Structure 1
Amino acid sequence: MTAPASRLGFLLQQRLAVMLPLGFASGLPLALTAGTLQAWLTAEGVELKTIGLFTLVGLPYTLKFLWAPVIDRIVPPWLGRRRGWMVATQLCVAIALVLMAVTNPRLQPERLAALALLVAFLSASLDIVFDAYRTETLEPRERGLGAAIWVNGYRLALLVAGAGSFLLADWIGWSMTYLTMAAIMAAGLSAVIVSPEPTVTADPPRSLAEAVGAPLSEFFGRPQALAFLAVIVLYKLGDAFASSLQTAFLLGGMGFSATEVGSVKGMGIAATLLGALIGGLMMTKRPLVHSLLAFGVLQALSNLGFVLLALVGKSTVMLLAAVVIENLTGGMGTAAFVALVMSLCDPRYTATQFALLSSLEALGRVFAGRPSADLVEAVGWAQFFFWTFIIALPGLWVVWRLRARLPAAQGEALALHQTA
């Protein structure tokens, strides 16, 4: 192997290898400001109404597109436009976790809430720059696999910050647990330092006004931009409806115990990771649009497993099959969807466009709960899950209609940049 070819192979491996620790750093703060924080507050005897207010600290994750233009516009004086922001925000998350660790929840709940909100804001900012870095670093044929590796790192972090923190807190207490998580977050800076520079670079916006307005005008100036948005909103919509009341269905509708559901859900997480990895590997050998269609069909069909479960009745075997298949295909669909979002971003405005597009996809998960409950009351569980299959079909139809355009989406974005 020649020296250039050897270096190319190393860069390919390095680009993919860093996705795991970076995904881990992206996921670690989430549980520490959500379920794990609630457990700490409960253990300290904080009243339930106060704990309920703490759920609002997750708001920055849904509003991160508002300050994404700042991250596109400003270039730190160290390590470049993306890696510089990664170092700054990750270090600040670690420091804020230390401040949370030394705050007494009973005596200073307001201070702890403010610090938790700060961690969520910094973590959401870290997600913005991570998404931009991943998009600009991975080659198109690597994006599915890179997204899968990222998801695996993210899910692993959720386990460490969730179940891992619970076990650790019984041993060393909650304050020391949060200090430990801060140390892990700080140690993750080494992954940023060794991360390669993005392979696709572009000059940042010349002003904040350009950073805010240009990403929108650039995207909507593309042919069939509205159709691309339809794919973003609709592709995972059936999945969002099916998962919105899944736990209520299994516990209340089918009468499974919490232990049974919890055990199967654990297997479902493993199936999601496996599905993302399988999907990512398959995407290295096939075009993006083929993966979107194939995985989308499997994703939609998997919802019918819950129809069978509702018709068959309480069956542990059917429960396991339905949950595992749904999570396996969902992981494959997620790998394809993330690759799609990356392909639609212009290199000049990656942070802003990725944040906007991912926020649009999240609308389904946020607002599916109430319509799902109304539908269950109207038609029952079996027909509800059949309708989630129907709801998934428009997204597949739009992908099919755009099958000649989606593979060219990244090329169009690059071409527009080069001619701008």
Structure 2
Amino acid sequence: MNQPAKQPYRGLAGIRRAFATPSALTMLFFGFGSGLPFLLVGGTLSTWLRDAGLSLGVIGLISYAGFFYVLKFLWAPLIDRFALPLLGRRRGWLFVSQLLLAAALGGMATLNPNTSTEMLVALVALASLAGATQDIVVDAYRIEIAPVEAQGALAATYTLGYRFGLILSGAVALYLAELFGWSTAYWCMALAMLLPLIAVLFCREPELNAQFVNRDHDVMTAFIGPFKSFFSHYGWALALALLVFVGLFKFPDQMIGVLAGPFYLDSGYSKADIATVSKIYGIWAGIAGAFLGGVCVAAFGIRWLLLVAAIAVALSNLAFLLMAYYPSEQWAFFAAITADNVSQGFAGVVLIAFMSSLTQRHFTATQYALLVSLANLPGKFVGGISGFIVEASSYQAYFLFSALSVVPTLLLLIWLWPRIEITGRSS
């Protein structure tokens, strides 16, 4: 295990030290592997389904097939407890999950949403399960491979790869769908999973002390131990507050996710417009926001950045009102995507660094998976019924409501402010 630096990570020296942390290139490829399936079972899938003529309500319900991304903590203890043969504790699980993901995407490429809806939903669920498992292991790998002070930097390089994955599964997939059809697009995405698969074969396994590997525990202890340890370390009141805060932090942004693709189409933009503005320009805006977040975490720490990021994410949702009031206008599309993606990138890195600081090395995968699941759970629930909400009201009302949903997060942050020192991961 890499040892934390003796000097604090602050200022320019902290930025240089954090971004020089080993395994940055590995995290770039792992980020790509994590980012690739996210849109293929989310926004890109929604656009495909809308293009095939399905209603907003049905699209929202189908999005529940991707619910595994918010339930990762349920099987994360098995990943902490058991190691697959040949490749090691982390690399073995990575390879299997990525292989399964590629197979599921290939299966989706063979189907027609109008005639094979049930089978499509099953394969979306399988891709979601494999993608979520991959994320569990990648997050644990990142936390175990570097000190907590470098997590902002590693999160930034991971996010760079993640955004490349989003470009491919967003913009490139839409271009391919426009030119050759959705089947070709999804076959190409399945083949792209070869990149992270190759990276797994060449990366190094994190070196953990024997005290952190709980293979002597039975399965029941493996499930209970991470949660018991988390609540014991922080105390019940503070632990619950932290979990609720993490769950609410990105709620305004997640409310938009499922409806983004359909909203763009309903606002008069073509698939090529969406690919260019949202999936190419928007990705680079998100990368800029992510590296800004990584630099700020390395230079200033996390506390004040939590406040800045939460407010930025909420306010960025109001930018979508420009598209609602000025449909088909390119300037409105660019303005909304700039605000949304820069704030998302910034807030994502800040949240990753914050959650990494809360985990304990005994149960890295499970505790971090719990935090990530909570970070996505509220928005996933609302996303599933978001189509019905918009059909009953309007896009404009929904965007305004999503921005106001930040209020509980800010109130909870005020309560947490004097109660926790964010100084690093506990052992």
Q: Normalising by structure 1, report the TM-score.
A: 0.76
Q: Deviations over 1:100-148 (max 9, x none)?
A: 6678999988777655543332222212211211222232222223223
- Residue pair 1:60, 1:120 contacting (<8 A) in 2 also: yes
What does residue 344 of structure 1 align with?
Answer: 358
In structure 1, what is the Cα distance between the partners aligned to 2:120 and 2:258? 30
What does residue 198 of structure 1 align with?
Answer: 206
What does residue 291 of structure 1 align with?
Answer: 305
| 1:66-77 superposed matches below 5 A | 66-77=74-85
1:84 pairs with one of 87, 92, 97: 92
- Structure 1 gaps of 5+ residues are 415-420
- Residue pair 2:70, 2:377 contacting (<8 A) in 1 also: no
What does residue 61 of structure 1 align with?
Answer: 69
Displacement of 1:250: 7.5
- Residue pair 1:272, 1:331 contacting (<8 A) in 2 also: yes
Identity %: 35
Displacement of 1:358: 1.6
- Residue pair 2:43, 2:260 contacting (<8 A) in 1 also: no
- Residue pair 2:21, 2:146 contacting (<8 A) in 1 also: no
Task: Please state if 1:356 is matched with 2:370.
Answer: yes
SS in structure 1 at match of 2:86: coil
- Residue pair 1:85, 1:129 contacting (<8 A) in 2 also: yes
1:265 pairs with one of 275, 278, 284: 278
In structure 2, what is the Cα distance between the partners aligned to 1:175 and 1:38? 15
2:222 pairs with one of 203, 211, 225: 211
In structure 2, what is the Cα distance between the partners aligned to 1:79 and 1:401? 45
- Residue pair 1:231, 1:399 contacting (<8 A) in 2 also: yes
Displacement of 1:71: 0.9
Over 3 Å counting, the alpha-carbon distance change for 1:97 and 1:220 in structure 2 is same
Q: Deviations over 1:317-346 (max 9, x none)?
A: 565434412321222111111211222222
Displacement of 1:228: 0.8
In structure 1, what is the Cα distance between the partners aligned to 2:106 and 2:93? 20
Which letter does structure 1 place at the counterpart of 2:366? T
Which letter does structure 2 place at the counterpart of 1:29? P
Displacement of 1:31: 4.3
Which sits farther off after the overlay, 294-303 or 175-184?
175-184
Q: Deviations over 1:269-320 (max 9, x none)?
A: 332222112111221111111221232333344445567x499877765654
SS in structure 2 at match of 1:90: helix
What does residue 417 of structure 1 align with?
Answer: none
Task: Please state if 1:220 is matched with 2:231.
Answer: yes
In structure 2, what is the Cα distance between the partners aligned to 1:390 and 1:233? 16
From the two aligned structures, give the one with the greater helix fraction. 1
Structure exhibiting the larger radius of gyration computed from Cα positions = 1
In structure 2, what is the Cα distance between the partners aligned to 1:318 and 1:130? 36
What does residue 158 of structure 1 align with?
Answer: 166
The aligned length equals 400
Displacement of 1:373: 7.6
Higher normalized contact order (CA 8 Å, seq sep 6+, divided by chain length): 2
| 1:119-198 superposed matches below 5 A | 119-168=127-176, 180-198=188-206
In structure 2, what is the Cα distance between the partners aligned to 1:106 and 1:371? 22
In structure 1, what is the Cα distance between the partners aligned to 2:423 and 2:21? 25
Which letter does structure 1 place at the counterpart of 2:169? A
Q: Deviations over 1:368-404 (max 9, x none)?
A: 355898699789947x756544432332343344335
In structure 2, what is the Cα distance between the partners aligned to 1:310 and 1:36? 19
In structure 1, what is the Cα distance between the partners aligned to 2:343 and 2:87? 38
Displacement of 1:73: 0.9
What does residue 281 of structure 1 align with?
Answer: 295
What does residue 13 of structure 2 align with?
Answer: none
In structure 2, what is the Cα distance between the partners aligned to 1:110 and 1:386? 34
- Residue pair 1:287, 1:407 contacting (<8 A) in 2 also: no
Q: Normalising by structure 2, report the TM-score.
A: 0.74
Over 3 Å counting, the alpha-carbon distance change for 1:265 and 1:175 in structure 2 is closer
Displacement of 1:169: 6.4
In structure 2, what is the Cα distance between the partners aligned to 1:95 and 1:381? 39
SS in structure 2 at match of 1:257: coil
What does residue 408 of structure 2 align with?
Answer: 394
Displacement of 1:210: 1.0
Displacement of 1:257: 2.7
- Residue pair 2:46, 2:258 contacting (<8 A) in 1 also: no
- Residue pair 1:244, 1:368 contacting (<8 A) in 2 also: no
Q: Aligned-pair RMSD on alpha carbons?
A: 4.5
Over 3 Å counting, the alpha-carbon distance change for 1:237 and 1:136 in structure 2 is same
Displacement of 1:213: 0.9
- Residue pair 1:19, 1:150 contacting (<8 A) in 2 also: yes
Which sits farther off after the overlay, 102-111 or 276-285?
102-111
In structure 2, what is the Cα distance between the partners aligned to 1:114 and 1:286? 45
